[in-house]
Amino acid sequence: KLDHDQLIIDAGQKQFGATTCSSCGMVYSADNPEDNFQHTQFHQQFLDSIRYVGWKKERVVAEFWDGKIILVLPDDPKYAVRKAEEVRRIADNELGFQQVTLSRPTQAKTFLFINTDRLVVGCLIAEPIRLAYRVLEQPDHKKDMTKDDFMERHRAWCCSTTPEQALCGISRIWVFSLARRQGIATRMLDTVRSTFMFGSYLSKDEIAFSDPTPDGKLFATKYCNT
């Protein structure tokens, strides 16, 4: 597996002859044969993964002058699910996630931002999360609680018959490096808030980011304070 980020870091440290490919965004040093080779390997596969051919049936949830957002659900046709997975793999690779399974794959909603060049330049995966996690993190959460106690409480909550408010967890958010700072992540999140639960617009504190990266924290802090 190619480590895109590491190459960026390495190239950044060298500074020497660092080039940014204007189509795939990889930073590499053109006068280093190994870098060149890795770029060649990465380039085509990356572009194939983010290319969007267009589907007969697509669920457009938002449209903009520079693109549109489509929603892919787990029961959609194979080609749609496959594309969503392909883009998720790219995002995971860049985030350094390895085979991280979604907490509730059957309920995951994948939002893809397609630009006017028919490239998937943004991907956001939202999953319903339950208040359960918050409850387990209350201050009375004892450090010496055994695993069995923990499971018991967890189970008790999960089996609760009282209606639990479903909140929205953002398990992945990724924007193509060459398309950042154009409000793509912001627009994807706004769209999630308006479409995630039928008939209601989620408030900012009903959304949670799971394990944010430094980029993710900067973005989330900005987003949640505006």
Q: Kindly state the smallest distance separating residue 71's Cβ from ligand ACO, in Å.
A: 18
Q: Are 115 and 176 in contact (CB under 8 A)?
A: no
Query: Which of ligand ACO, Zn ion, none lies near 102, with the C-beta cut-off 5 to 8 A by kind?
Result: none
Query: Which of Zn ion, ligand ACO, none lies near 27, with the C-beta cut-off 5 to 8 A by kind?
Result: none
Is residue 212 involved in binding ligand ACO (CB under 6 A)? yes
Is residue 24 involved in binding Zn ion (CB under 5 A)? yes
List all residues 6 or more positions away from 17 whose beta carbon is below 8 Å from its beta carbon. Answer: 29, 30, 31, 32
Is residue 43 involved in binding Zn ion (CB under 5 A)? yes
Stretch that binds Zn ion, among 14-22, 86-94, 161-169, 170-178 (CB under 5 A): 14-22
Is residue 218 involved in binding ligand ACO (CB under 6 A)? yes
Q: Are 114 and 122 in contact (CB under 8 A)?
A: no
Could you give the string, one character per residue 59-98, with x where binding to ligand ACO holds by CB under 6 A and - elsewhere? -----------------------------------xx---
Is residue 166 involved in binding Zn ion (CB under 5 A)? no
Contacts by residues 205-214 (CB-CB < 8 Å, ≥ 24 positions apart): 206/167, 206/168, 207/167, 207/168, 207/169, 207/170, 208/129, 208/167, 208/168, 208/169, 208/170, 209/169, 209/170, 209/173, 210/169, 210/170, 210/171, 213/95
Q: Kindly state the smallest distance separating residue 127's Cβ from Zn ion, in Å.
A: 32
Q: Kindly state the smallest distance separating residue 69's Cβ from ligand ACO, in Å.
A: 12
Centroid of chain to Cα 55: 22
Is residue 38 involved in binding Zn ion (CB under 5 A)? no
User: CA nearest 69: which of 184, 180, 214, 216?
Assistant: 184
Stretch that binds Zn ion, among 3-11, 42-50, 180-188, 212-220 (CB under 5 A): 42-50
Rg (alpha carbons) of the chain, rounded to whole number:
20
Q: Which residues bind ligand ACO (CB under 6 A)?
A: 94-95, 170, 172-175, 180-186, 209-213, 215-216, 218-219, 222
